[in-house]
């Protein structure tokens, strides 16, 4: 497996986020040899994929319950996209950190460590919270229709577990190699501009770095 590349993206004054675009993890068919929890999570993921596709290709429902379910689906889909950098770290022991060329390597490594430590605490706590809520959501199994709350808390639980594991891997086992990148330094200056004024240049930087989803991520988090 090739080494991963993670980017230290500037998103405001002295603020950074870790970012990468790992490929989708393949989802194979569940077999009888898999454990109970693995088979259950596989079925949950497959049903979730169908739910997301429906939400993306149909207009939002008009009823209050339908709108709530639509919001839950969209929010979880965003959460999954934002956490994939941490998820991917579980799979690597060697990672290249590309950082803005206007800060030192020592400072970049310090930010990386700080972000991973914060993510470890955050996702560790939410794993406990969502584990309880997922168990409680099972009480809605007799309510007609899809148990969207169970999907929501179940996928949040799985996401936080994977993110926590990725953060711990990055802190404890990954060997980091740092390399400055001038395009990231330019992104830091663009973070101070209005979105419409910077959009074309952000897209150009994302294209140069071969990160097609970077512009959308930057617009969500840059202030």
pLDDT level of residue 30 (50, 70, 90 thresholds): very low
Backbone angles phi, psi at 28, to 5 degrees: -90, 175
Beta-carbon-side half-sphere exposure of residue 71 (alpha carbons within 13 Å) = 7
| Region 61-83 average pLDDT | 68
Q: Which residue has the higher pLDDT, 63 or 173?
A: 173
Among 37-51, 73-87, 190-204, the range scoring the smallest mean pLDDT is 37-51
Predicted local distance difference test score (pLDDT) of residue 26: 44
Torsion over CA: 197, 202, 207, 212 (sign): negative
Which of 60-74, 135-149, 163-177 tops mean pLDDT?
Answer: 163-177
Please report the pLDDT score of residue 133 as a whole number: 84
State the average pLDDT over residues 40-59: 63
| CA 67 – CA 54 distance, rounded (Å) | 13
Comparing 79 with 134, the larger pLDDT belongs to 134
Collapsing DSSP to helix, strand or coil, 13 comes out as coil
DSSP state string for 178-210: EEEEHHHHHHHHHTTS-HHHHHHHHHHHHHHTT
């Amino acid at each position: 497996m090739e080494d991963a590349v993670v980017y230290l993206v500037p998103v405001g004054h002295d603020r950074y986020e870790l970012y990468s675009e790992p490929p989708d993890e393949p989802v194979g068919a569940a077999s009888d040899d898999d454990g109970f929890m693995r088979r259950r999570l596989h079925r949950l993921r497959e049903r979730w994929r169908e739910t997301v596709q429906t939400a993306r290709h149909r207009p939002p429902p008009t009823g209050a319950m339908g709108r709530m379910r639509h919001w839950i689906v969209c929010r979880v889909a965003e959460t999954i996209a934002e956490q994939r950098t941490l998820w991917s770290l579980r799979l690597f022991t060697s990672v290249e950190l590309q950082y803005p060329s206007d800060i030192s390597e020592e400072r970049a490594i310090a930010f990386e460590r700080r972000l991973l430590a914060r993510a470890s605490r955050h996702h560790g706590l939410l794993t406990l919270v969502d584990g309880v809520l997922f168990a409680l959501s099972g009480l809605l199994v007799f309510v007609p229709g899809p148990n969207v709350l169970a999907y929501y808390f179940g996928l949040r639980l799985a996401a936080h577990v994977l993110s926590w594991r990725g953060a711990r891997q990055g802190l404890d086992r990954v060997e980091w190699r740092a390399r400055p990148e001038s395009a990231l330094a330019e992104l830091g200056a663009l973070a101070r501009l209005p979105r419409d004024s910077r959009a074309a240049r952000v897209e150009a930087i994302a294209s140069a770095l071969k990160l097609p989803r970077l512009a959308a991520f930057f617009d969500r988090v840059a202030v």
